[in-house]
């Protein structure tokens, strides 16, 4: 068993990872700022699910779980530099998984400073804390958005990522570069994970699946951008979490075949690596909507619209490196994953099947 810090533990992926690690018997300290980017009641519900008394959550105070003796929660902003570094030095975590970040492509167009605060300043706090506390392995969330204008499919970890289409992607690319510098200077093993369109139960209300489900159930129109022709590598959250849990104890190592005259961006001469985590099964947005209609037993009222600013027309992950490294690849079908989301949604919002 090991001791791990999970930042963003009140978030979508962080919640599921915390649940996975607790189920395996590990000691987990969760940390989250609980910002109001989306409905904080959902974040509190995730914490309550793991026995955290949300009425007692105070800034910088540790909150012990009522149902998991090996789980504690701290409310803090990762950009609170001194607190984060001191916490990590004191706790002596074996591993750190940084999932705390300001998410959302379109939101970054209107609110750029929020992204540099969380995704740049906050990530620096994590790197410094890892360095000073001799963490065995830092895993951090990157994004498929770093591929930007790249149109060569499937996307591999060695493709150029120098043309981001929004500041969100640029900050995540910066995270990869920052991690490499710490791996090189301080021999800190770091693994960056480029997530591809994650969905599933307890998901974010600003994501398409959540928005579409709410609209369809309430007989409202849904906005379908790029006329439904967008292609996404929709990846079920359970596959994301399984991948992370397998990666934790196999930290990055120096690539003995790495060549500075012909450098690869997926690995390095220092303990640094990058992986895609995607379903490797690209799906048209229209087909994603059909899966939701099947699960709800109800047709959507679509408003077809052109592409939004900052969006890419298609994503398709190559996960060969991941599969070779951990003997696992995401494989949950879209219909199966959407069914699981809808089941959770109806139960969480107490919607009876006869109202669909």
The catalytic residue positions are 168
CA distance 112 to 247: 31
Taking Cα atoms as reference points, which of 12, 33, 9, 35 lies closest to residue 22? 9
- Read out DSSP for 74-138? EE--TT-HHHHHHHHHHH--SEEEE------HHHHHH-HHHHIIIIIIHHHHHHHHHHHHT-SEE
249: helix, coil or strand? Answer: coil
| Cβ-contact 162, 243 below 8 angstroms | no
Distance (Å) of CA 274 to CA 11, 133, 162, 281, 336: 22, 23, 15, 20, 28
| Cβ-contact 146, 101 below 8 angstroms | no
Distance (Å) of CA 324 to CA 110, 247, 329, 330: 40, 12, 9, 13
Spell out the residues 6+ positions from residue 23 whose beta carbon is closer than 8 angstroms to its own. none
Residue 267 DSSP code = B
CA distance 275 to 290: 30
- Read out DSSP for 17-60? HHHHHHHTT-EEEEEE---SSS-HHHHHHHHHHTT--GGG--BT
Residue 120 burial (CB count, 10 A): 15
């Amino acid at each position: 068993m090991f001791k791990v810090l999970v930042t963003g533990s009140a978030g979508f992926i962080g919640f599921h990872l915390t649940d996975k690690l607790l189920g395996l018997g590990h000691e987990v300290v969760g940390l989250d700022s609980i910002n109001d980017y989306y409905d904080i009641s959902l974040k509190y519900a995730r914490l309550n699910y793991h026995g955290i008394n949300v009425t007692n959550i105070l800034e910088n105070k540790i909150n012990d779980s009522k149902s998991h003796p090996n789980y504690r929660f701290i409310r803090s902003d990762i950009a609170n530099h001194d607190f984060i570094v001191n916490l990590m030095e004191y706790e002596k975590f074996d591993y750190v998984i940084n999932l705390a970040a300001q998410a959302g492509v379109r939101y970054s167009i209107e609110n750029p400073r929020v992204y540099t605060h969380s995704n740049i300043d906050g990530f620096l706090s994590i790197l410094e804390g890892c360095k000073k506390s001799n963490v065995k392995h830092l895993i951090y969330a990157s994004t498929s958005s770093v591929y930007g204008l790249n149109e060569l499919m499937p996307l591999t970890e060695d493709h150029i990522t120098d043309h981001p289409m929004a500041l969100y992607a640029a900050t995540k690319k910066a995270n990869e570069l920052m991690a490499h510098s710490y791996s090189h200077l301080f021999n800190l093993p770091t693994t960056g994970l480029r997530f591809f369109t994650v969905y599933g139960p307890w998901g974010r209300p600003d994501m398409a699946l959540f928005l579409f489900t709410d609209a369809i159930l309430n007989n409202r129109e849904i906005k379908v951008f790029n006329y439904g022709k967008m292609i996404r590598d929709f990846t079920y959250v359970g596959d994301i979490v399984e991948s992370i849990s397998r990666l934790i104890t196999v930290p990055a190592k120096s690539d003995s075949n790495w060549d500075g005259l012909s450098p690869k961006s997926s690995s390095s001469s220092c303990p640094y690596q990058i992986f895609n985590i995607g379903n490797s099964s690209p799906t048209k947005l229209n087909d994603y909507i059909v899966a939701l209609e099947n699960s709800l037993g109800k047709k959507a009222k679509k408003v077809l619209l052109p592409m939004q600013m900052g969006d890419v027309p298609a994503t398709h992950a190559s996960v060969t490196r991941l599969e070779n490294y951990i003997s696992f690849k995401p494989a949950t079908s879209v219909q199966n994953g959407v069914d699981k989301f809808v089941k959770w949604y109806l139960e969480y919002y107490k919607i009876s099947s006869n109202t669909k």
